[in-house]
């Protein structure tokens, strides 16, 4: 987890705003999540798309949870 701890929050937010949302109308990750929950996410390219566009959001969630819980070393305050 130290890798995620070392990534600045601003950098993760930039990745979420670019890779995580592109193309922007509608956000690609949203389309892939709808496909996942409706059971139509079956093609390998769609699975790769979900992985690529969803990863920044997963990293952001992990980072925020670790910041909230105070699990990041050197961040005591």
What is the rounded distance in angstroms from the CA atom of residue 63 to the CA atom of residue 71? 10
- Confidence at 8, pLDDT banded by 50, 70, 90: very high
- What is the pLDDT at residue 12? 93
Mean pLDDT value across residues 21-26:
80
Q: What is the pTM of this model?
A: 0.77
DSSP secondary structure of 7-27: S-HHHHHHHHHHTTT-SBTTB
- Two tokens at 14? 């930039």
Q: Where are the domains of the chain?
A: 2-69
């Amino acid at each position: 987890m130290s890798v995620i701890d070392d990534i600045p929050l601003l950098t993760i937010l930039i990745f979420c705003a670019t890779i995580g949302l592109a193309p922007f109308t509608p956000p690609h990750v949203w389309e892939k999540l709808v496909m996942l929950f409706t059971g139509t996410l079956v093609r390998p390219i769609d699975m790769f798309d979900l992985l690529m566009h969803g990863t920044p959001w997963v990293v952001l969630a992990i980072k925020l949870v670790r910041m909230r819980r105070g699990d990041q070393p050197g961040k005591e305050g």
